[in-house]
Chains A and B, each alone.
Chain A
Amino acid sequence: MRDVITGNEAVAWGAARARAQVVPAYPITPQTTIIEGIADLIKKGELKAEYIPVESEHSAMAACIGAAYAGARAFTATSSQGLLLMHELLHWAALARVPIVMAEVNRAVAPGWTIWTDQNDSLAQRDTGWIQLYCQDAQEVFDTTVQAFRIAEEVDLPVMIVLDAFVLSHTAEPVDVPDAADVDRFLPPRKPKFVLDVDNPCAFGGLNGPDVYQEFRFNQQASMTAALEAARRSDNDWAKMFGRRYGLIEEYRTEGADTILVASATPASTAQDVVDKLRAKGKKVGLVRVRLFRPFPAVELRKALAGAKRVAVLDRNISPGHHGIFCEELKSALYGMPKAPEVRGFIGGLGGRDLTPDSIEEVFDRAMGPKKEEEIAWIGHKA
């Protein structure tokens, strides 16, 4: 099927093609059209799933954990305050090693009340042990939703697919939705490695003392590392079957670039036009989009940025009292690298403020300019 659908509809189709079996769902703008879409696909017979209209996001994640332990493929979706309410259970899901997949529509955090996009909600979950994939268009959203289940079930860790509020969640684009039978060949039914079983009664998540806890964390970290390869393999296999490949990071015109912009999500797609424009003027600029945020693809980033003199990082988020979060992550990844490029952090687009081609060009100009920037350079800021 090829149709013009929104990012959120692409998520719903992705969950349907992945044959999610249990979907506990709670509405929150701008995620709501995902769970409405899933309800609609169940009604139309495109998806056979237990749909649970839970009374909170906290219960949505708890039900996902229970369903996963019962051996089912569990999916849910949320945004912002809902994700923050889930926070305790995000840790729980990751340490319980259940392969839940969740779509998270980036929405800025209140107060004041806002429904518009920025990344503080999802990035505040950085250390919960979830794999995080940031998407830039509706086709990628669909493809990543299905890929996410493959990755999750291979390494026994939950995966969060992240998409921007409205700019992506509610924007309609042509999307190819492959036939169910074809997707089934990419993603066979879940084969849980551990499950609640009355014939083999076990307890899961029991008391840990200092003698054992650290090893659970060690194993989790090992699986996170393995997730890099799982994500590569999932992407490669997807490309072989459906002809679309994204990578852990996506490079755009980085050959011979002195200045490279590192961005994520939809602003990275806007930035492609800006790179084309500046290249046409003879400026040696390029773009790297970070698609996989956890585990952090440090090796890929070092390779992609190796030849550049400077790197500008555009963050639609902030760690108050420190810097933009992608910027700090990147600095950490490049630390100790011979001839590492200079890294400059830019923050803008918070609370859904537009990141236009002009504002992204401003990032390039200021990154390449002679003026020594402040520790944090604000973009589109009203003084």
Chain B
Amino acid sequence: MDRPQGVKYVPAIAEPTQAKFERVPKEEILGHGHLACPGCGAALSMRLALKALGRRVMIAGPACCWAVCDGPWPYSATGVPFLHCAFETAASTACGIRAGLAARGIDDITVMTWAGDGGTFDIGLQALSGAAERNDDFLYVCYDNEAYMNTGVQRSSATPELAWTTTTPPGAMPKLQPKKNMGEIVCAHRAPYFATATVAYPEDLIAKFERAGRTRGFRMIHILSPCPPGWKSEERLGISLARRAVESRVFPLYEVEGGTKWRLTQDPPKRPVAEYLKDQGRFAHLTAAQVRQIQGHVDAEWDVLKGRLETGDRR
């Protein structure tokens, strides 16, 4: 994919998409004392992401759970420089950090955002689109727990259809709209690299962060991040639910080069969506017909995704 404008664009290098477990660095960069809830997918994701990227990372973090998780001033658990920024400015702040470093001749830092779904899918989408279009040189990470969890579980445009939130009470004001498809939006910008990931597949997640760290230009990793309080699920089930989300094809794991070369990175045997929904209180109200409706939509989205995949590159 030719990207004439903006920063130096180096295409992602094709390579095995699964990191070898033995290669995962033992060093912990995320510190003790972070304020994430028990079972939080974001904390596990941050831990693994930093293992993949190392310490030469600077983070722009907008309003989201992680603004709390990092700890109260003057403490910081993240372990790398962390600039808190306004809700809708993750992408624009990161773009400024990159430009500031470039102006000072510093070129060996991974600039990263760490934003929730509200800051990404909703209020921060304009800045994200601007940065993707300019091909600004940073890694945008969205840890997606599928609602405004930090403010107490309100619907976002990342909330799945028919899920309970405090602003989508079932029966009265159900969330009828399907989840916004961030991969398609970012890939429409022909961004150098986009990937989905989740903590149930740590080797896959680490490989994607390693790859994103080596790629230049605009990169994004979209992480499905289980949230026990918001999903009304047991803390011990976070990893299991993330795995079921992938197996049921609710959240397929894939990566895209240049917006056009799509490939699945995990393709486990298919499970019914009902097995993903069943241990989450946010879906407890669903009727059998509504579960069938969701299954139908998941199947249809899977067909769309399959249509985008490169032939012969399924893993």
With A56-B130, A196-B83, A204-B84 as contacts: A70 and B56 at CB distance below 8 Å:
no
Q: Mark B123-141, 1 if CB is under 8 A from A, else 0.
A: 0001101100110100000
Q: Is A149 an interface residue (CB 8 A)?
A: no
B72-A69 in contact (CB<8A):
no
Number of residues in B with C-beta < 8 Å to the partner? Answer: 48
CB neighbours (8 Å) of B76 from chain A are: 201-203, 206
Which of chain A's residues have a CB closer than 8 A to the CB of B57? 198
Interface pair B96/A70, CB less than 8 Å apart? yes
Q: Is A212 an interface residue (CB 8 A)?
A: yes
Residue of A nearest to B100 (CB): A70
- Write out the residue numbers on chain B whose beta carbons fall within 8 Å of the beta carbon of A67: 96-97, 99-100, 103
Q: Does A379 contact B (CB under 8 A)?
A: no
B291 at the interface (CB under 8 A from A): no
Beta-carbon contact of A196 and B103 below 8 Å: no
* Chain A residues with CB under 8 A of B74: 206
CB distance from A97 to the nearest CB of B (A): 13
Contact B72 A206 (CB under 8 A): yes
| Given A65-B93, A69-B97: A208 touches B73 (CB 8 Å cut-off) | yes
Shortest Cβ gap from B187 to chain A (Å): 19
Q: Which residue of B lies closest to A68 (CB)?
A: B100
Known: A66-B83, A66-B85. A74 touches B92 (CB 8 A): no
Cβ-based interface call for B173 (8 A): no
Give A46-65 interface residues, CB cut-off 8 Å to B: 49-50, 52-56, 58-60, 62-65
0/1 string, B64-91, CB within 8 A of A gives 1: 0001101111111011111111101101
Q: In the complex the two chains form, is B81's CB within 8 Å of A201's CB?
A: yes
Q: Is the CB of A50 within 8 A of B88?
A: no
Q: Do B104 and A21 have beta carbons less than 8 Å apart?
A: yes
By a CB distance below 8 angstroms, the chain B residues around A202 are 76, 81-82
A49 touches B95 (CB 8 A): no
Judged by a CB distance under 8 angstroms, whether B300 is at the interface is no
Q: Decide yes or no whether B60 CB sits under 8 A from chain A.
A: yes
A66 surroundings in chain B (CB, below 8 A):
60, 83, 85, 92-100
Tell me, in angstroms, the Cα distance from A55 to B124 when the chains sit together: 12
Return chain B residues, CB-CB under 8 Å to A198.
55-58, 80-81, 109
CA distance A223 to B181 in the complex (A): 47
Tell me, in angstroms, the Cα distance from A202 to B80 when the chains sit together.
Answer: 7
B284 sits at the interface (CB 8 A): no
A70 in contact with B134 (CB, 8 Å):
no
Main secondary structure of the interface of B (DSSP, over half): mixed
List of A residues within 8 angstroms of B60 by Cβ: 66
The reply to whether the CB of A71 lies closer than 8 angstroms to some CB of chain B is: yes
> Does A112 count as interface, using CB distance less than 8 angstroms?
no
Interface centre among A55, A58, A62, A64 (most CB of B within 10 A): A62
Which of A52, A62, A71, A88 lies in contact with B134, CB distance below 8 A? A52
- B37 beta carbon closer than 8 Å to chain A: no
Nearest Cβ distance between residue A57 and chain B, in whole angstroms? 10
Q: Is A243 an interface residue (CB 8 A)?
A: no
Name the distance in Å between B15's Cβ and chain A's nearest Cβ.
Answer: 26
8 Å CB interface, B39-68 against A: 55-58, 60, 67-68
- CA A58 to CA B126, docked complex, whole Å: 10
Q: Does B101 contact A (CB under 8 A)?
A: yes
Query: A196, B58: Cβ atoms under 8 Å?
Result: yes
In the complex, A55→B79 CA distance in Å? 31
Distance (whole angstroms) from the CB of B93 to the closest CB of chain A: 4
Determine if B85 and A205 form an interchain contact, defined as CB atoms under 8 angstroms apart.
yes
Asked whether, in the complex, the Cβ of B92 is within 8 Å of the Cβ of A63, the reply is: yes
CB of A58, distance to nearest CB on chain B (Å): 7
In angstroms, Cα B83 to Cα A206, docked, is 8
**A92 touches B (CB below 8 Å):** yes
Name which residue of chain B comes closest to A203, CB basis: B76
Which of A22, A59, A64, A205 sits near B83, CB closer than 8 Å?
A205
B88: chain A residues within 8 A (beta carbon): 58
Question: Does the CB pair B72–A92 fall under 8 Å?
Answer: no
Interchain CA distance A89-B88 in the complex, whole Å:
10
Which residues of A does B touch, CB under 8 Å? 21-22, 24, 49-50, 52-56, 58-60, 62-74, 88-89, 92, 196-198, 201-209, 212
- Interface residue ranges, B against A (CB under 8 Å): 55-58, 60, 67-68, 70-76, 78-86, 88-89, 91-104, 106, 109, 126-127, 129-130, 133-134, 136
27 CB < 8 A contacts A-B: A49-B103, A54-B92, A59-B89, A60-B92, A62-B92, A63-B92, A64-B96, A65-B89, A66-B83, A66-B92, A66-B95, A66-B97, A67-B99, A67-B100, A70-B98, A70-B104, A71-B101, A198-B109, A201-B55, A201-B80, A202-B76, A203-B70, A204-B82, A206-B72, A206-B74, A206-B82, A209-B72
Beyond the given pairs A65-B93, A203-B83, 11 more chain A to chain B contacts, judged by CB atoms under 8 angstroms and listed by A's residue number, are: A59-B127, A67-B100, A69-B96, A70-B97, A72-B99, A73-B103, A196-B83, A198-B57, A198-B81, A203-B78, A206-B74
The 7 lowest CB-CB distance pairs between A and B, nearest first, are A66-B96, A70-B100, A55-B130, A63-B96, A205-B84, A203-B76, A67-B100
